[in-house]
Structure 1
Amino acid sequence: MMAEQGGETGPVPVFSGAVPYIRPVPVDRPWHWLQLGMADMLSAWRVSLAYGALIAGFSLALALLVVGSGHIMLLLPLTSGFTLVAPLIAVGLYATSRDLGQGRTPDLRRALHAWRENPLQVGFLGVLLLMLHLFWVRVATLMYALFFADMAPTLDGFTATILHSGASLPFLIAGTIIGAGFAGVAFAVSVVSIPMLMDRQTNAFTAMATSIMAVRVNAPAMALWAFIIVFLTGLGIATMFVGLIITLPLIGHASWHAYKELVVEG
């Protein structure tokens, strides 16, 4: 039986014609997706944790490279913008959850090569997300230059200035508002589009339109889901990326189940 959402019952079409439909869900449904994601992570713990460790290790190496190169001001936008590209990074986790659902034994090699199943469309959407991330980094860099033009280019100086200078509060407020805007766009176009591209031989534009409609039809539930994703990702990053070993697979597996419940065949 279909759940009610905003007075609507039953699937909601994205476009008129033979394209996917969106299923309305209750506002608390993301907690169920997390439960399913946890079950997948435990069932495929070797693949999931290895995948998470690879991403966490790469992220830490990139952060150390940024710090070591003296470009400290890029550290904050790069880490805060992680959520913009996380749906692309989690492609292998979607494939692992799909394998579990089909009764196949999860395999790390297959997870790492999952993007090859629909390479052009996944690649196209990936480029869009990467461009959005780079644009956010550029905007954040300009904001930094505007608020902290005379900041010492050291890690200690960066931390002290960001947290204790007179411009800290306006900078953090402006950065949070603008960053949330970027994150909202990325979330809307990718929350179900990349899993959909892994599951069906469709195109990126249809997948993005489906994703945007899923957010529109289930705005309260998707707002909660976005908050959970940001919280778990932030928790993973705050632990020097070590927490991503667990939180990234959990989000990735849960996102697959979110897609499978929200998007139904037209």
Structure 2
Amino acid sequence: MNDTTIETPDNTVEPGQNGIVIRTITTDQSGAWLQAGWRDFKRTPAIGLAYGAFCVLAGWLMVLSIFRTGQPYLTLPLAAGFMLLAPLIAVGLYETSRRLEMGENVTLWHSLNGFRRNPGQIGAIGVVLMLFFLAWTRIAMLLFALFYNGTVPSLDVLVWETFFSRDAITFLITGSIIGGGLAVIVFAISVVSIPLLVDRDVDVITAVIISVSAFRKNWKVLIGWAAVIAILSACGMVPALFGLAITTPLLGYSSWHAYREIIDVSQADVARLRRQVP
């Protein structure tokens, strides 16, 4: 493999689903994954920036729509909900890192091949992530109604009511606990499953089982990685969402390298998908 490959620890478990091995990661590897992701970004800046620009544009359209419909209070919940859908958006970035790793030609058009791998299975997990996103949005609306007497704050008092009012602390803690719980569930089922579906000919149920098993085995390290993703994503949103143009591709590429370090498919009895795009 080329210089995008990360050295992996030798302590592994016996092969599980389809001969796929889940490695044990004992120390925080976030820095190494980010470094590998940054190398991929530098090698394919146009692809990374294209996906980043798409996220920025999608964010602007989302914010514009909620303001035009008189629901500005959903800005913060939808910003948090973005991270529930981000693993699906990153499919093309996974494919880019995958092709770099295999020494294949890669362009923006080639990166879209990732969405053509196991399309039905990737679509199925996409539906699951969308359901979580819609559930979180609905919960956020109910929380606003519960804490603000069946109404929602108007734009002129939104910041004050959300962060500085009498019930703000309770509201924020409740929302953070519920949202955090949903985020952990989504992270557990997607951290390995989506890149695995891009890489190998497996079904979505098998991929999710492997992903959850990997999370359970390495939960301490992966919780730290999830925190890094959340912090960098939040930082990317602060400057009018422009930062997402950098943080989105960086985290997408890095997540591919996290998958490659956590999962050993060298002895897997499922084929590696090699469909080529002209």
Same-fold call, TM > 0.5? yes
Per-residue deviation, 1:110: 2.6
The residue number in structure 2 matching 1:32 is 32
Of 126-135 and 153-162, the range deviating more from structure 2? 153-162
Per-residue deviation, 1:264: 1.1
* 2:225 equivalent to 1:225: yes
Provide the rounded CA distance (Å) in 2 between the counterparts of 1:177 and 1:14: 33
Q: C-alpha deviations, 1:218-265, integer Å up to 9, x for none? A: 122111111111111111122221111000101000010111111112
Provide the rounded CA distance (Å) in 2 between the counterparts of 1:109 and 1:55: 17
Give the alignment of 1:133-152 within 5 angstroms.
133-149=133-149
Provide the rounded CA distance (Å) in 2 between the counterparts of 1:149 and 1:159: 17
Per-residue deviation, 1:203: 0.4
Of 46-55 and 146-155, the range deviating more from structure 2? 146-155
**CA RMSD of the aligned region, Å?**
1.7
Provide the rounded CA distance (Å) in 1 between the counterparts of 2:30 and 2:130: 26
> Does the 8 A contact of 2:145 with 2:152 survive in 1?
no
The residue number in structure 2 matching 1:52 is 52
Per-residue deviation, 1:50: 1.4
Give the SS at the match of 2:183: helix
Aligned length: 260
Structure 2 unaligned residues grouped into runs of 5+: 1-6, 269-278
Q: C-alpha deviations, 1:118-146, integer Å up to 9, x for none? A: 11000000000000110011111101100
The residue number in structure 2 matching 1:186 is 186
CA shift in 2, pair 1:14/1:185, >3 Å: farther
AA aligned to 1:158 is L
> Does the 8 A contact of 2:118 with 2:197 survive in 1?
yes
Provide the rounded CA distance (Å) in 1 between the counterparts of 2:242 and 2:150: 33
Percent of paired sites with the same residue? 40
Give the SS at the match of 2:73: helix
The residue number in structure 1 matching 2:248 is 248
CA shift in 2, pair 1:190/1:152, >3 Å: closer
> Does the 8 A contact of 2:40 with 2:97 survive in 1?
yes
Give the SS at the match of 2:19: coil
Provide the rounded CA distance (Å) in 1 between the counterparts of 2:30 and 2:79: 24
The residue number in structure 2 matching 1:263 is 263
Provide the rounded CA distance (Å) in 2 between the counterparts of 1:231 and 1:57: 20
Provide the rounded CA distance (Å) in 2 between the counterparts of 1:231 and 1:46: 24
Report the TM-score when normalising by structure 1: 0.92
Structure 1 unaligned residues grouped into runs of 5+: none
The residue number in structure 1 matching 2:13 is 11
Per-residue deviation, 1:111: 2.1
Report the TM-score when normalising by structure 2: 0.88
AA aligned to 2:9 is A
Q: C-alpha deviations, 1:135-167, integer Å up to 9, x for none? A: 011111101100123656532221121122111
